[in-house]
Chain A
Amino acid sequence: MKYDVNEQGFYGEFGGAFIPEMLYPNIQELKSSYREILREDSFKEELSSLLKDYVGRPTPLYFASRLSTYYGADIYLKREDLCHTGAHKINNTLGQVLLAQRLKKTRIIAETGAGQHGVATATACALMGLKCLVYMGAKDIERQSPNVSRMKMLGAEVCSVHSGSKTLKDATNEAIRDWINNPDDTHYIIGSAVGPDPYPDLVTQLQAIISKEIKEQMDGLPTHVIACVGGGSNAIGAFYNFLEDESVKLIGVEAGGMGVQTDKSAATLALGTRGVLHASMSYLMQTTDGQVIEPHSISAGLDYPGIGPLHAYLHDCSRVVYHNVTDDEALEAANRLMKLEGIIPALETAHALAYLDKMKFTPDDRIVINLSGRGDKDMNTYINANF
């Protein structure tokens, strides 16, 4: 497919593996084996059986009738929030844990922002009996404490990261450093479609099941698919199998924070310039001297100054259009979904929902929103919002 990564690990000029020599053998090992392993019958059978019986796939594509009436268009929700652990993240972690086993790795490390990827990693490791260490920014540990407890209950060790902005970016740095120091027995499960080649493609392939199912569940094509974007794993999963269906409008929604005109935002494509973060060329929020700017979003999972390289490419070739919504707009959209549909979404997902308020609809519109996660972890924020 024309949007797939090339042999050098790039999407157009984005991607690549900007890694220190210490990581070269690990990345080479992964790059030379992941495609083959993902194609093995035994891998496919094991993963699809787990996705069905353990995760609960296929997740429903739910026609949200009251939300549809409110906006005057047909709106469907892809219920990734109903996955085991409450978000799409487990699609990736189960696949990568099976991959790690085949690479004979006995120790798993991960980074997490909102804690959803951390919980999904801890879950997959508990299931497989693997040692698990999750790096999490000290600020995120504070604002997402229920997920910290979950990870610990599942047997994972949670390591608090105090460098930089104490959020997702810094947790990712720390996980990379851990991998440099433990190259032999450890597999690093990146939680988003970011990082050095082959991670963006690996995560994309494992999340693509979302759009594969949407296609099977819908009668005909949707007119729009909308998803929130931090690093971009739920979005690329929801978009992937529609990339070549040019009639389907694909919309990514970034976290505008307090607004892109303020210095409290995480809207990378609105505010970023080209550069390398976490070993891949993409857009990132940075100073004129190439120092990474600490982002802000009410949602820990979108509080990231970069974006996956495939999204950067899809943005530049205009296949996907990216917008952003503010913290307040996301809260309002979360409240609306609670009241109209009886669903409490994750704050991340609320950003995708908020974009509905900015759209103009025609009666033929059939819109799919990727409901990437549920909102249990965000109770404190929702309680303080006094809905």
Chain B
Amino acid sequence: MSTLKKVLETKKEGLLNIYCTAGFPELNDLPKIVNALHESGVDMVEIGIPYSDPIADGETIQKSNAVALSNGITIDLIFEQLKDCNPEIPKVVMTYFNPVFKYGIEHFCKQCQSVGVEGIIIPDMPIGLYQASYEEMFKNYGLSPIFLITPQTSKERLKLIDDLSSTFIYAVSSSSTTGKATAGLSEGNTYLSGLKGLGLKHPILVGFNISTSNDLAVVQKFAHGGIIGSAFIKYLGDKSSPVDASKQFVKEITKG
């Protein structure tokens, strides 16, 4: 069984997935960060493959993408770096349709499989196109597509997404770009408290706008886990050692 599926099956609640942008803050930091997150007990990592025009991302992740690109990151280099990441921690990649399309979707899938990546998040990939052209390909390379759902996603569409999923579903906490400053997530959030009642077969991890240990506790209570991106990227950018910063961040975000 894949490491990702194993984690999802053995740990049914309180999951923590942390996002990091490959090539940020320094070109070759990815393996150090992923391994430090693994040692800190993070359940899985989401590796961002930088893109010049990330429309779903707020300022923090946009900037980390721009820094990574000016550091000279490339998709091939990311696949090289992934070979130096601990194989035990489940890995998914997050990027946009264009870099994958230009790289060659099948070649991309093959490379993912060869370095132990088990899921792909492409927020701007149309579901219909995935079904028509890429579903078989993803399956052949053991890759799980991870789709986003929002508070506005209709029931029919939720069912379609659930049927196409094979690991977890990525729920966006509210309709927004990533890292939008909010008042914080509260237990009174009816979208979050209703997530488990949606009746989906696959576990739900909530992402976008989770920046404090309290936010994380709220989503971990109502869903199977949380995904943290912008808050971690901001933290990394302010610290000199990515390894220490990663460990310290996990300690702070999971306290209480």
The interface of chain A, by Cβ under 8 A from chain B, is 8, 16-22, 24-25, 163-164, 169, 173, 176-177, 180-181, 183, 273-279, 284, 286, 288-292
Contact = CB atoms under 8 A, between A and B. Distances in A.
B231 to A, nearest CB: 18
Contact of B52 (A18, A177, A291): A291
Given A289-B99, A289-B102, A21 B148 contact: yes
Interface in B118-155: 123-126, 128-129, 147-150, 152-153
A291 B69 contact: yes
B152 A18 contact: no
A22 B98 contact: no
Nearest to B76: A289
Contacts of B27: none
Contact of B128 (A8, A284, A292): A8
List 8 A-B pairs, minimum CB-CB distance, nearest first.
A290-B102, A290-B99, A20-B123, A21-B148, A20-B56, A291-B52, A18-B124, A276-B98
Contacts of A25: 152
Contacts of A22: 56, 148, 150, 152, 172, 175-177
Given A289-B75, A291-B52, A292-B53, A21 B147 contact: yes
Contacts of B249: none
B150 A21 contact: yes
A177 B66 contact: no
22 contacts: A17-B126, A18-B97, A20-B124, A21-B148, A22-B150, A24-B152, A24-B157, A25-B152, A164-B53, A164-B66, A177-B58, A180-B56, A180-B177, A181-B180, A273-B102, A276-B96, A276-B101, A289-B74, A290-B101, A290-B102, A291-B51, A292-B98
A275 B150 contact: no
Interface in B55-112: 55-56, 58, 62, 66, 69, 74-75, 96-103
The DSSP consensus for interface residues of chain B is loop
Given A22-B148, A275-B102, 4 more contacts: A21-B148, A173-B53, A177-B177, A181-B177
A275 B101 contact: yes
B48 to A, nearest CB: 14
A116 to B, nearest CB: 23
Interface of B: 51-53, 55-56, 58, 62, 66, 69, 74-75, 96-103, 123-126, 128-129, 147-150, 152-153, 157, 172, 175-177, 180
A278 B53 CA distance: 8
B191 to A, nearest CB: 13
Contacts, number: 99
Contact of B55 (A183, A279, A286): A279
A150 B100 CA distance: 41
Nearest to A164: B52
Nearest to A28: B154
B152 A183 contact: yes
Given A22-B150, A183-B152, A163 B124 contact: no
Given A22-B148, A22-B176, A180-B176, A276 B129 contact: no
B123 to A, nearest CB: 4
A274 B126 CA distance: 17
A8 B180 CA distance: 32
B126 A16 contact: yes
Contacts of B51: 290-291
Contacts of A289: 74-75, 99, 102-103
Contacts of B58: 177
Nearest to B96: A276
Contacts of A274: 101
Among A8, A19, A177, A183, residue most surrounded by chain B Cβ atoms (within 10 Å): A177
A128 to B, nearest CB: 26
A286 B176 contact: no
A288 B97 CA distance: 14
